[in-house]
A and B are shown apart, each in its own frame.
Chain A
Amino acid sequence: MSVLVYTENWDGKFKKLSFELVSYAAGVAKLLNTTVAAVSIGRVEENELKKLGNYGAVKIISVNNDQLVSLDSQAYASVISEISVKEGASVIVFANNNTGKAVAPRVSVRLKAGVGSGVSRLPLNVDPFTVYKRTYSGNAFAHVIIKSAVKIITLAQNSFDLIETANNATIEILNISVDPSLLKTSVKDVQKQSGKIVLTDADIVVSGGRGMKSADNWSPLIELATLLGAATACSRPVSDEGWRPHDEHTGQTGKIIAPNLYIAVGISGATQHLAGISSSKYIVAINSDKDAPVFEAAQYGIVGDAMKVLPKLVAAVKEIKK
């Protein structure tokens, strides 16, 4: 018996999310009186792999195979399932991100393992195995009992703190070749914006809504974000109007994020918007309408015109950065 965790890498590097996953898996392993094995797929150097040991992985299994350079969910699921069986995993942990959502359900079918997705706490109980998950887009949480012998958990990003431990990890390089009949997708082109902070990774997000009044008014918001090392985001009407790109839309049908700090500027706070940001640790609302629902979700609020408030915030951040 063990807890297996899939740790994705980005160009050979792990991110904070990877370490959250390992810390979480170590917490689950402790409840079950067992240990954590981490699986990495792709070219990751040994000193990078070793970092997973700092958060409680006892065994690190590295699969590096030319067939697995880009994400093919069918092939990845076959590799992870094979390792799970070999390791006798009773719990498998994925991130509840694009990759986890692509691979976890396929592993579920291969291993007849029930899935608890978007989980944000350690299991509430180990018998029956009960997880705590987000439902109704954050308007409710559910206690879900997973009845199968093998359980799959997808962990919500930024929901679990890093826990460092003594590193006793061993690294195993595993050669697995994938049946070519499982490789049916091919990536023809990759289009990446360089230098932009990835919205779902950002610790701080500064987001603008209709209260910004026009596409031309964004520069103080961007300046504030740059000074804070924050990503920029927007509400749905803003991306629909074309003031900002669609990939910045946060909300129920856009990106769902959970930064440490979310600053909502000129956003009224419709249910659909709050559904995408309600897991943020701190929410700041800046809005000229004192009755805007966003203030009910916020810990800090300023009732005022964004165009007057933003320059003051920019000046104040410059002052503390001196």
Chain B
Amino acid sequence: MASEVKRSRSTVAFTALILASVAALLANICLGSASIPLGEAFGALFGGDGEDSIVSSIIWEFRIPRALTALLAGAALAVAGLAMQTVFRNPLADPFVLGVNSGASLGVAIVLMVLAPTGVALTEGLHLSGHLLVVVGAAGGAACALGILLTLAQRVDVMSLLILGLMLSYGFGSIVSILMYYTMAERLQSFFNWSFGNFSAVTWSQLVVFAPTVLVGLGLMALLIKVLDAFLLGERYAKSMGVRVKQSRFAILGGASLLAGVVTGFCGPIGFLGIAAPHFCRFLFKTSQHRVLAPASMLVGGLLALLADLIAKAPGIEATLPLNAVTALFGAPVIMVALLKQRNLRKAFGG
């Protein structure tokens, strides 16, 4: 009986999350520098002939790809964060904290500031091929950082690993600074634009690459849900239950860096979603099972990304805010409150 109560509780929570995500998606489509009434937006979406072609093109050309990007990016970062928290058995693990984002930044900095001036696939204006190079740089940098962390992970405990991740961030950051110091202003500008974080840089032509990559990453994670559950008891228990620990850890962290890398490459470094979404879901569903947490984190991550983008667009004001400033501004206090309210968070990970 208790399990039925619990099941209905999750059903209610999932329904609420889906409705909230749909509402946020619609709000993102309607609101922006120009507000579009819901009725008109629906008209444009579901193809009445006589609709205003300007409204229709704003919605189809800009708003929808941007909203879809936010949804996918949020889901990807949340799942990457969830997987890393489980594997590192640490509540603070996420792509940002462990230096994966700085690795991605370095990769992008190398593409935009070192390779581009030497004539490699010039990225002026960031057309698709240029953009892909940025993504490859970001994913490569992310994988590099994660590879270093994984090598170190076998020697030190998780707390030291977090600090090592932080140091890795500083190290990568300093190389980026040096690159910036010796780079021409206009190239710097394209790196700056990228580093503020932005969902609007992804247009339809890029979305055809971005969306399938994210979906492949999420699909890979879906295959690993059962293994992730086994990892909750620690690697030794996982091994005793027949998990191929090394291969699985490689696959999980590989998938996480694919997700984090591709999002960072296309949208820039976006912090806090990866930590905040899984914690919110654990709190909401009172479980550690990935069968529940993974889909819930995707929904919450997507929802939070849409809300953050809504705030960044600052509807009604003639201004926009850098996206990663918004996620940090709202994400940091939320995590602080969560940590203070739940002082035994570490216990949940047997750390």
Is A bound to B?
no
Taking Cβ atoms with an 8 Å cutoff, the residues of B that contact A are: none
